[in-house]
Structure 1
Amino acid sequence: MAGGRRWSGRLLRGLEFVAYPATAGAAGALLAVGIVTWLPALAATARGLQDWRTDGETRLFRAVLRAFARYRRTLLPHSATGLAAAVLLAANLYFLSGRTGLAAFALFFGQVGILALFVLYHLAVAVCAARDPDGTPARWRRAALAFAFGAPSRGLGLLATAAAAPILTVVLPLGPILFGASIPLLYGLYLADRLDADTAPRARTRQGSTR
């Protein structure tokens, strides 16, 4: 009997790791329908996931909507600039995909590399904004640069998750929409927690050595 209760409890906890990211992803996708609001929506999704992870928030749809009101004001200019850059990258890729020759090949994959860095950086911005909701966009951008590019393994892991999530969830109804952003953001929040755990002992050691 006790074993059955333990099994059912584990099953429920496992289902939470599907249901809550899906709920946050649905809210974020709805908010991103405005297109230019994509970055505030991404940050709001990350904030909802962070509330769930740290405070046990279960009404994630409402939490994401609530966070969006804050991030829309602060991140909309960055979001508009990023959208223009993404459109330019897409146009370049479309143009180069129809060209032949070594130069076109090199330029095409150069643009792919820039696109990968673009995705990685903006995922990091969303993660940093979610963990520091009272910060400023400038502080989030500085933190995102350090987080995304400070360690190759961390950046590659986050980028690989961003690439794999839509592919692995395509078999689910609306899978890429529900999980394409929420899973990479959830992994990014986990990586940020690990980074804090790794740097805290070093900071204490430095403080002790200066006394």
Structure 2
Amino acid sequence: MSDSIGRWIREDRIDADHYYVVMREMIEHAYRDGDGESTVHALERGELDGSAFERDLAARLLTLDGVPPVAEGLLDRMFAGFERVEAMYDMLRDVRKNGFKTCLLSNSWGNAYPRDGWDVIFDAVVISGEVGMRKPEPRIFHHALGEIGLAGEECVFIDDIEANILAARALGIVGIHHRDAESTITELESHLRLTLRRA
């Protein structure tokens, strides 16, 4: 994700320092402060469409020329360079091969998800904007658990945002704070007592 964002910042000539200040404030409000609703909440639940969010975000940002970036297509440009981490996909295949159920639980920013091959790695897919709920709301975790027919105590949840991990743990779910594939897979191996592939 950070590589994709960095590429977009360079290509759209975004003022990087200003971008990170703006984004930090938006994400902290959405995931840490819990003080009222925001455009991020609405976007992730699908209550605000991507183009409206793009206009809001573009108005907050600046290019190196001191003007807002072009709003139309902003999210597509931000995520255009996103590349999946093959080691994590290999791990998911191994987990499933060993009889465990897998579920993708994702907060969407209006993204079009490339779903090719998902049927062989996920038993269920829960996208926030499609179900009208978002992490870290407990109800989306309950929804995901219902989709795979498991209790929280039977599950491990992996996420890169601490607030989401804490919400999962409050429901009895083991939480792994993802920072990189190697450490996440190592921790998951310990919980599942398996040896998992790393690409």
Q: TM-score, normalised by structure 2?
A: 0.23
Of Structure 1 and Structure 2, which has the larger fraction of its residues in helix? 1
Which protein is bigger by CA-based radius of gyration?
1
Of Structure 1 and Structure 2, which has the larger fraction of its residues in strand? 2
